[in-house]
Amino acid sequence: MAYEQNQLREPGFGGATGALGAATRNRVLRNTYWLLALSMIPTVLGAYIGVQTGFSFFAGSPFIGLMVFLGVAFGFFFAIDKFKNSGVGVALLLGFTFFMGLMLSRLIGAVLGMSNGASLIMTAFGGTAGVFAVMATVATVSKRDFTGMGKWLFMGFLVIFFAAIANIWLQMPALTLTVSALAILIFSAFILVDLQRIVQGGETNYVTATLSIYLSVYNVFSNLLMMLGIFGGNDD
């Protein structure tokens, strides 16, 4: 997401230097879309294995689980950035999406425990796809520059991030709903910003572009699913 938000891109694997022509920008955007679609496969696989095995970093100590998760995630971020100009970067990205699928499995398992769980998951998937389609369309056709929102969105992300951490111990339902609602709005806007940066030629590496957009899509889906589980879940 914001990890690559303001970095200058280097030439190489999917990269270019200086002003980009329309053909190059379209190629970066097309490759980003393809890699983003491909990343869904290990995510689903990771979620499936996690549900089947009962995987959870947070089962014992929430704090230790959070630290382990952040350590693994930032390790992937560092490695993907280092190898973003080679096929190794693509492999690392797909490995990261598998890991994120594992992390998603606890939520998916809880929702699947509801009688209408499968329907809720499909609704969340459809809602996320709809958000992505709208943001992609706006990023492509709008003449307004939305990229300046990046720093404000990152500040909003920090607020909800620390609120979510605090709520691990506070366990306040109202705060959970507030964080999820704000996360959907903020990460939807991040999708718009990141896609428009590609359209405008500000992002020239499709590996790091995919990482940023994947994180936003992942967060929109997980928070939408959480809200659907709270409001629309049926335990009968």
pLDDT, one tens digit per residue, over 47-90 is 999 999 988 877 667 788 888 999 999 999 999 999 999 999 99
Q: Which domain holds residue 124?
A: 20-232
For residue 10, tell me if it sits in a domain.
Answer: no
Quickly list H helices, 83-116: 87-112
Q: How many structural domains comprise the chain?
A: 1
For residue 136, tell me if it sits in a domain.
Answer: yes
CA distance linking residue 177 with residue 182, whole number of Å: 9
For residue 36, tell me if it sits in a domain.
Answer: yes
Q: What are the pLDDT digits (tens) for 171-219?
A: 899 999 999 999 999 999 999 999 999 999 889 999 999 999 999 999 9
For residue 12, tell me if it sits in a domain.
Answer: no
CA distance linking residue 236 with residue 228, whole number of Å: 16
Query: Does the pLDDT value for residue 17 go beyond 50?
Result: no
For residue 9, tell me if it sits in a domain.
Answer: no
CB 191 within 8 A of CB 216: yes
CA distance linking residue 130 with residue 144, whole number of Å: 21
CA distance linking residue 161 with residue 175, whole number of Å: 12
CA 49 to chain centre: 20
Confidence of residue 22 (pLDDT cuts 50, 70, 90): confident
